[in-house]
Amino acid sequence: MKQRPTNQGPKRALVTGAAKGIGAAIVRLCVEAGHQVVAVDIDQEGLSRLRETVPGIETAILDVRDLAAWERVVEGAETQGGPFDVLINNAGVCLPGPCNKVSADDDRLTVEVNLMGVMNGVRTLLPRFLARKRGHVINVASMAAFSPSPDLAAYCATKHAVRAYTHSCALDHRNSPIHWTLVCPGAVETPMLESMRQRRAGVVVFTEKPMPPEEMGSAVVSAIREPRSEILVPNTPGKKLLRFIGLFPGLLARGMDDAERRGMEALDD
């Protein structure tokens, strides 16, 4: 789907999962690019630390699973600071382990945050964007949107779903002025990745050197300036190959033992 470039001026953006990791990097780089940011997260202490390092941002506590809370936060922020131009759905969790050992509660949390959180954001902001005849939805997924992985069944399922949801929404509104972007990063140095490292779970993600969160933040800022339907970060031949191999479960299975071995070796280095 071809998308028209947005205006080059500053935007007002709402960023979820903003207290740390990728979200915090997105906030910092958006502000550096001249955008006005409302950073939301369930982590109040993390938001307080973010305000100290990124002056001028607005913050609000938001559990992305709570649709009513979305309505309150967005209404309050738009009343106070003006309408949003960009929604950046970044909040996510990863609770790894073999599919038969992860608890039902953990699977439910993964689905509610990673998928329903995105859908709640769209449900809240899209009517406002349509009424104003402008707006941009940026959903952060993962390379897991293309490639299933051991120990990450629920996480991969939600990222596959976010990809399908994003592009389906774009098709619903293909004749509207609303932009839709899916951003799919590889491994990123975040607290989420550190937790996986300590638990030695989902080790295939460690077959590549994790990128700094600022690389993801830069990709999002570029997408605000020039919308694209789908962005791989980094946009390397290896990422494009992985997207293709993900279409063939048999190929994935044949190479997975070696990938897990290389991931364990990387953790041991």
Structure tokens at 69: 């809370």
Residues catalogued as catalytic: 155
Query: Going along the chain, which residue ranges are E strands?
Result: 12-15, 36-41, 58-61, 86-89, 136-140, 179-185, 230-233
Tokens of 38: 């409302």
Distance from C-alpha of 144 to C-alpha of 147, rounded to nearest angstrom:
5
CA geometry: angle 47, 40, 80, nearest 5 deg: 105
Q: How far apart are CA 184 and CA 172, in angstroms?
A: 21
Q: Kind and range of the H or E element at 244?
A: helix 237-245
How far apart CA 145 and CA 185 sit, in angstroms, is 10
Tokens of 21: 């990791």
- For residue 32, the SS3 value is helix
* Distance (Å, whole) CA 138 – CA 227: 9
In 3D space, the residue among 183, 82, 68 whose CA is nearest the CA of residue 132 turns out to be: 82
Give the 3-state secondary structure of 155-200.
HHHHHHHHHHHHHHHHHHCCCCCCEEEEEEECCECCHHHHHHHHHC
